[in-house]
Amino acid sequence: MREAFSSSLVRLALADPAVLLLTGDHGYALFDQFRQKCPNQYINAGIAEQNMVGMAAGLARLGFRPFVYGLAAFIPIRVVEQIKLDIAHDGLPVVLLGDGAGFVYSHLGTSHQSTEDIACTRAIPGLEVLSPADRFEMQASMNYAAVARRPVYLRMGKADRGDVHSAPLASFQPGALLKVCDGRRDQPGLIATGSMVSTAMTVAEVFDLNVWSAPMLKPLDADHVCTASLESNGIVTLEEHSVMGGLGSAVSEILSEKNPTKVIRIGVQDRFSLHCGSYDYLLEEHKLTIKHVLQSIASLSESLSA
C-alpha cells in the first residue's frame, strides 16, 4: 500500500508539473523515488507544519497542486486551524496526506498516535476525507484526490494488512461503500475503514457476514449505508480511530435519520494508549484485535436473535 502511495505520487507529479510534494521533514525512504524522478517538485518545508500548510494555500492560489505530507498526528491534527482557514475556507485544491494514522507508531506513544483525525477533518466544511484499506483503494484514492480540485484529507494507517480487493477498482464513486464479503442477511453487517477492513473480513468468515469497506468517509453515500443496513440485521462499524466522530458516527448519523438501525461502533474508546508495545499489543490494549471483535459480534448476534 505504501508502494502504491509513493508510485501514485510520482505518476501524478510526472503527469502534471504543477504538482508539488511538501513534507514536514518526514517520509525519509518513502520519497526516494519521488526525489529521484521529480527533484524540483519536492520541497522539504522543515519541521514547521503550520507554515507548510499556510504556504500550500499560497501555492494553490497560484495554480500549483500541493500534496502536503506529514504524520497524521501533525497533518491534520497540529494544523487543523490552517486547514480550516487557509485551505478549506476557499476550497483550495490541496491534498493533505496523514501517514501512520491510528496506532502505527505503537512504540512512540501518544504524540505520534492519531485517533481523532477523522473527527476533526470531517467537521471542516468542504473538506473531503479518504481512508483507503489496501493498495487498490490507495491508488483510486490518490487518483481521486488529484482530480478532485478541492481540499482532501487522505488518511494512511497501518499499511501492511494485505489486499481486501482482488484487483484494481474499476471505478471510484465518491462516498461509495465497497462490498468485500457477501454474507447472511439475518446477521449483522460490518462496515469498516482502513486497517480494520481486513479484520472485518476475517471475522466475517467465521459468522458468514456482509462486509463493506468505506474508502471515503466524507462524503459518505447515504443510500449505500441504508442499503447495507437493509441487507443486514444491524450494523457494526470498525475503525482504528475514536468511536466519536469517525466512521461509526458518520454511519449512525445517516441511519438514525434515514433507516433507524441498531449500530455498534467498534473503535478507540475515550482514552489514550497507556502502554508501549508492538502494533498488535496496542490493538489488544484497545480491544481492536480479531478476538475482541469476534466477541463483540457474537454478543450482538445473540442479542439480535433473542
Partner 1 sequence: MSSQENERPKLAFSPHALRRTVLEMAYAGSTVHIACAFSIIELLAVLYRGHLRYPDNQPDSDNRDYLVLSKGHGVMAQYACMRELGWINDSHITNYFKDGSELKGLSDSRIRGLEVTSGSLGHGFSVGVGLAFGLMRKETDQKVYVIVGDGEINEGPVWEGALFASHHGLGNLMVIVDQNGFQAMGSTDEVISLGDIAAKFDAFGFDVLSIDGHDEEAIDTGIRNLWQTPSSRPKALIAKTVKGKGVSFMEANNRWHYTRLNPDTYAQATGELDQARHLS
Report the residue number, 65 or 158, with the smaller CB distance to partner 1: 65
Using the rule CB under 8 A, is 85 a contact of partner 1? yes
Question: Shortest gap between Cβ of 105 and partner 1 (angstroms)?
Answer: 23
Residue 76 C-beta: closest distance to partner 1, Å: 16
Stretch that binds partner 1, among 52-60, 124-132, 188-196, 255-263 (CB under 8 A): 52-60
Find out whether 264 and 236 touch, Cβ atoms under 8 Å.
yes
The pattern of x and - marking residues 115 through 134 that bind partner 1 according to CB under 8 A reads --------------------
Residue 84 or 158 with smaller CB distance to partner 1: 84
* 83 part of the interface to partner 1, by CB under 8 A: no
Cα(140)–Cα(138) distance, rounded to whole angstroms?
A: 5
Q: Is 13 in the site for partner 1 (CB under 8 A)?
A: no
The yes or no reply on residue 50 touching partner 1 (CB under 8 A) is: yes
* Contact by Cβ (8 Å): 264, 188: yes
Q: Which is nearer to partner 1, 62 or 147 (CB)?
A: 62
**98 grid coordinates:** 496523514
**Backbone phi, psi, residue 163, to 5°:** -80, 145
For residues 57 and 177, which CB has a smaller minimum distance to partner 1 in the complex? 57
Which is closer to partner 1, CB of 45 or CB of 255? Answer: 45
Whose cell is 492519531? That residue is 114
Residue 54 or 234 having the CB closest to partner 1: 54
Among 3, 16, 32, 61, binds partner 1 (CB under 8 A): 61
Sequence-distant (6+) residues with CB within 8 A of 287 are none
User: At its nearest, how many Å lie between partner 1 and the CB of residue 25?
Assistant: 12
Q: Does 25 interact with partner 1 (rule: CB under 8 A)?
A: no
Does residue 109 touch partner 1 according to CB under 8 A? no
Residues that bind partner 1 in the complex, under the rule CB under 8 A? 45-46, 48, 50-59, 61-62, 64, 81-82, 85-86, 89-90
